[in-house]
Amino acid sequence: MINLNKRHLSLPKALTLGFLIIILIGTVLLTLPLSTQSGHSTSAMTALFTATSATCVTGLTLVNTALHWSLFGQLVILVLMEIGGLGFMTFTVILFFFMRRRLRLSTRLLAQESLNLENLSQLSLIRLIIVLAMIIQLTGTALLFADFYPRYGLVRGLWFSLFHAVSAFCNAGFDLFGNSLESFANDPYLLSVMAALIIAGSFGFLVWQDLLLYRKRHRLSLHTKLAMGTGGIITIISAIIYFFSENNLGQLSHQLSASNRFMNTIFMAITPRTAGLVTIPYSHLSIAGIAITMFLMFVGGTPGSTAGGVKTTTIGLLALQSIATLRGRKDTELNHRRFTQENVLRALTLIFVAITILAIAILILAATQPIPKTSGIEYVTFEAFAAFGTSGISLGLTPHLTLLGKVLIMALMFIGRVGIFTVMFSILNADHKQKGYRYPEESVLIG
């Protein structure tokens, strides 16, 4: 029993340590003079921040990726993004299978039970993920090349296509244009390819498995229904809000046709969850647009995907649970299925801890970072949400961060990517040894 617990513990620790090691290797490589265009070596802090941002697929940067880094430096970033996106996904499969096995053997605490359906085995699922991810990224590269070849020629066009296909699929948010996708606001083809790559990356392995097995078993799991339903509803609602709040899309309104404005609005609803490639500078957004973007960055994608945030299933489950509680119902249900009590408790705790971490970070940032006279609290709030949600959109604070600010934003990116529960289990050295006794129950007044 204790053995089993130790084995369970080693997985969150392995994940946390693995990420740290990859970030450190990336940092060392990025400090090399070889990694910069100027041939001067980069400061350790800037290299560490960049490696963290790439590995945690966030995209917040202290230096301009296009201007500062050499081809070698950009290649390091590409590899870090792929490890942070795809590597993380395959690791979560292992974690998922282990949890399920453990569930059968012992306690149900923290359990993420499977889907009461025939599933692929661990190895075939991992193989499937890697193959599918490669196919999607290569297809994306080819589709982007059709757009980039006329603009940049063969070699540069190929490199740009590969880099941005990976960046979009891994929801990483890095770009080689120097101003994200701002030059492509008038290019609906490119935006469509990018949006498709972003969405494919944010699905997560369970949804993929479900979709691939659909022909065989003719039904979707509760997980897939909840994830797709929540994601779809949120995207549609936020697109409508953006359409009204950012109707003129800032300074772009004069250059864009009505259909291109529509395309940009759709893209705005997709990219904060949590790709971070943008077609307009977000500091030009209305206050309402900034608010909805922060919400989208907080939600993020599906668990076990390349996206960050607290995840669609968490938000969807809690919305259903709140409605059930307010209607005086005991069970949280969807589509003739009941969610486990463990699911609900885990989701609620996740949200509470996430908001607590964000509140503390925002308070510290507000007290210590330079805020322009023309900006309000959203100047630091937005950056904290972007880091924690690994979305990487910025209102402009990141390059001006103090040392404390940089450390804080890096910590948020790390916790946001590796996961609150995983990081906390590692730090707090959680053990599942239950005491042999329980204290007597007592109740308090709530609300």
Choices 77-85, 144-152, 282-290, 388-396; region in contact with K ion by CB under 5 A: 388-396
- By the 10 Å C-beta count (0-12 exposed, 13-18 middle, 19+ buried), 4 is classed as middle
Among 33, 124, 257, 352, binds a copy of itself (CB under 8 A): 352
392 binds, among K ion, a copy of itself, none (CB under 5 to 8 A by kind): K ion
Neighbours of 163 (CB within 10 A): 22
Asked if residue 378 lies in contact with residue 395, where contact means CB atoms within 8 angstroms, the answer is: yes
Taking the complex as a whole, how short is the minimal distance between the CB of residue 391 and K ion, in angstroms? Answer: 5
CA angle 239, 242, 246 (to 5 degrees): 150
Asked if residue 90 lies in contact with residue 129, where contact means CB atoms within 8 angstroms, the answer is: yes
Q: Label residues 165-186 b or e (16+ Cβ within 10 Å = b).
A: bbbbbbbbbbbbeeebbeebbe
Q: Which two tokens stand for residue 63?
A: 């230096």
**276 is a contact residue toward K ion (CB under 5 A):** yes
Which residues, numbered 106-165, are part of the site for a copy of itself (CB under 8 A)?
109-116
Which residues, numbered 163-202, are part of the site for K ion (CB under 5 A)?
171, 173
Q: Which two tokens stand for residue 27?
A: 């940092």
In the chain, the amino acid numbered 208 is W
Q: Which two tokens stand for residue 425?
A: 């289990």
Residues 394-433, mask of contacts with K ion (x by CB under 5 A): ----------------------------------------
381 binds, among a copy of itself, K ion, none (CB under 5 to 8 A by kind): a copy of itself
Among 300, 392, 416, 419, binds K ion (CB under 5 A): 392
Write the DSSP symbol of residue 82: H
Q: Which two tokens stand for residue 289?
A: 């647009």
Taking the complex as a whole, how short is the minimal distance between the CB of residue 329 and a copy of itself, in angstroms? Answer: 8
Taking the complex as a whole, how short is the minimal distance between the CB of residue 112 and a copy of itself, in angstroms? Answer: 5
Nearer to a copy of itself, 256 or 292 (CB): 292
292 binds, among a copy of itself, K ion, none (CB under 5 to 8 A by kind): a copy of itself
Report the candidate in 212, 214, 264, 273 with the shortest Cα–Cα distance to residue 242.
Answer: 264
Nearer to a copy of itself, 376 or 399 (CB): 376
Chain center to CA of 231: 13
Tokens 């940009």: give the residue.
Answer: 264
Among 344, 408, 415, 418, binds a copy of itself (CB under 8 A): 344
Among 223, 261, 406, 417, binds a copy of itself (CB under 8 A): 223
> Which residues of this protein are in contact with K ion, per CB under 5 A?
59, 171, 173, 276, 392
